[in-house]
């Protein structure tokens, strides 16, 4: 027997353009914030100590859902212990032409080529400042801020890339519980070139230095988000670099450009074209990358697992592989608003 959300998704949401469905669902979540806030107080969270912070629980919402920091507290009301906003770029940008978001229903997956559409660091920073003023003294979710390169900045001009990221740090770091540098989206031309250690090292060092200049009353933890499509040797090279320069953690993984093993008709996949694939097809590779990272860094870095975490078993497997925290996004779309609590119940039984 289908769950109520499955009936709603199959009968309504799956027939609406995916980007419009996202906008409508997110608007409904924000409108329901007062009810969600009361609901969240009935939960029995298991806090997690990581990055020098106390996370209300182990599960977060990955970057990409709330790009512009407009629904942080409403989303937390669904059970997420941390919300990672963004990806935010130094300059506002509209992203790629529509359509740019596609469902693969047979695979419980999504392809997106959004292209870092967002309001820009200055506007998002003001929004975060207003939220901080409203919530002074109140408890809430941990807020991560995911930053990336503005599309028009050439990836081969590392000086310009650094300046672009520094602008984001200036506006956003004061309101971030942690910062993430995203060099792993496939939807900004040349972005993944920045995953090469010789380019990534000076970028991350510059972001670290800038964050320390901008925020003087605390140390803002800094992480990097990597792609599942990196070769194993490159994954290990990033891990070694992260340890060497004193990074706080790694988020593994972003979406994949692979289309291997999909159940969806290849003709449909070909028609959709380019973009990052997320959801269940990513599970095995993201798990493998987590195991590699854990074996390499041990307890020296915080590892956040994301990519293909759909079931309770997926969540437990990622934690057993070495993740301190986990995140979801695509499963939230397919499983609905009760999904976070389902995952957290399973994790609580594990512990």
Judge whether 225 is annotated as a binding position: yes
Judge whether 256 is annotated as a binding position: no
Strand 178-182 and strand 59-61: the pairing is: unpaired
Element (H, E) at 327: strand 325-328
Q: How far apart are CA 116 and CA 112, in angstroms?
A: 11
Judge whether 102 is annotated as a binding position: no
Q: What are the residues whose beta carbons fall under 8 Å from the beta carbon of 176, sequence distance 6 or more? A: 128, 143, 144, 145, 220
Judge whether 279 is annotated as a binding position: yes
Judge whether 87 is annotated as a binding position: yes
Judge whether 116 is annotated as a binding position: yes
Q: How far apart are CA 306 and CA 287, in angstroms?
A: 9
* Chain CA centroid to CA 187, Å: 15
Judge whether 255 is annotated as a binding position: yes
Q: How far apart are CA 36 and CA 75, in angstroms?
A: 8
Judge whether 136 is annotated as a binding position: no
Q: Are 205 and 247 in contact (CB under 8 A)?
A: no
Judge whether 187 is annotated as a binding position: yes
Judge whether 332 is annotated as a binding position: no
Judge whether 201 is annotated as a binding position: no
Judge whether 65 is annotated as a binding position: yes
Judge whether 308 is annotated as a binding position: yes
Judge whether 329 is annotated as a binding position: yes
Cite the DSSP H helix spans in 56-157: 72-76, 121-134
Q: What are phi and psi of 238, to 5 degrees?
A: -65, -40
Judge whether 146 is annotated as a binding position: yes
Judge whether 118 is annotated as a binding position: no
Q: How far apart are CA 190 and CA 207, in angstroms?
A: 19
Q: How far apart are CA 268 and CA 131, in angstroms?
A: 42
Q: What are the residues whose beta carbons fall under 8 Å from the beta carbon of 144, sequence distance 6 or more? A: 60, 63, 82, 83, 84, 85, 176, 177, 178, 179, 180
99 upstream amide cis, omega within 30 of 0:
yes
Q: Would you call 40 a catalytic residue per the annotation?
A: no
- Which residue in 40, 168, 184, 185 is the catalytic one? 185
Catalytic residues: 185
Binding site listing for FMN? 63-67, 87, 146, 182, 225, 253, 279, 308, 329-330
Binding site listing? 63-67, 87, 112-116, 146, 182, 187, 225, 253-255, 279, 308, 329-330
Binding site listing for substrate? 67, 112-116, 182, 187, 254-255
């Amino acid at each position: 027997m289908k769950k109520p959300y499955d009936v709603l998704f199959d009968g309504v949401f799956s027939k609406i353009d995916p980007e419009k469905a996202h906008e409508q669902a997110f608007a409904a979540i924000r409108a329901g914030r007062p009810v969600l806030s009361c609901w969240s107080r009935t939960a029995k969270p298991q806090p997690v100590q990581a990055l020098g912070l106390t996370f209300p629980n182990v599960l977060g919402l990955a970057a990409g859902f709330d790009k512009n920091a407009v629904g942080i507290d409403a989303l937390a009301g669904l059970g997420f212990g941390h919300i990672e906003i963004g990806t935010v770029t130094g300059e506002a940008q509209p992203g790629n032409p529509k359509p740019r978001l596609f469902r693969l229903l047979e695979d419980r997956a999504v392809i997106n080529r959004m292209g870092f559409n967002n309001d820009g660091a200055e506007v998002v920073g003001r929004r975060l400042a207003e939220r901080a003023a409203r919530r002074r003294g109140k408890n809430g979710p941990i807020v991560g801020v995911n930053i990336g390169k503005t599309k028009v900045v050439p990836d081969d001009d590392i000086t310009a890339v650094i300046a672009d990221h520094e602008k984001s740090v200036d506006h956003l770091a004061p309101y971030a519980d942690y910062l993430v540098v995203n060099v792993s989206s496939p939807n900004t031309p040349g972005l993944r070139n920045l995953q090469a250690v010789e380019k990534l090292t000076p970028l991350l060092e510059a972001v670290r230095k800038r964050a320390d200049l901008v925020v003087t009353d605390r140390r803002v933890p800094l992480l990097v988000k990597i792609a599942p499509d990196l070769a194993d040797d490159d994954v290990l090279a990033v891990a070694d670099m992260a340890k060497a320069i004193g990074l706080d953690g790694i988020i593994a993984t972003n979406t994949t450009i692979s289309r291997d093993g999909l159940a969806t008709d290849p003709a449909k996949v070909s028609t959709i074209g380019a973009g990052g694939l997320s959801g269940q097809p990513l599970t095995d590779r993201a798990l493998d990358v987590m195991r590699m990272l854990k074996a390499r860094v041990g307890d020296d870095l915080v590892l956040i697992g994301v990519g293909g975490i759909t079931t309770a078993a997926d969540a437990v497997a990622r934690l057993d592989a070495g993740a301190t925290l986990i995140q979801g996004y695509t499963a939230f779309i397919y499983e609905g608003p009760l999904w976070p609590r389902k995952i957290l119940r399973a994790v609580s039984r594990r512990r």
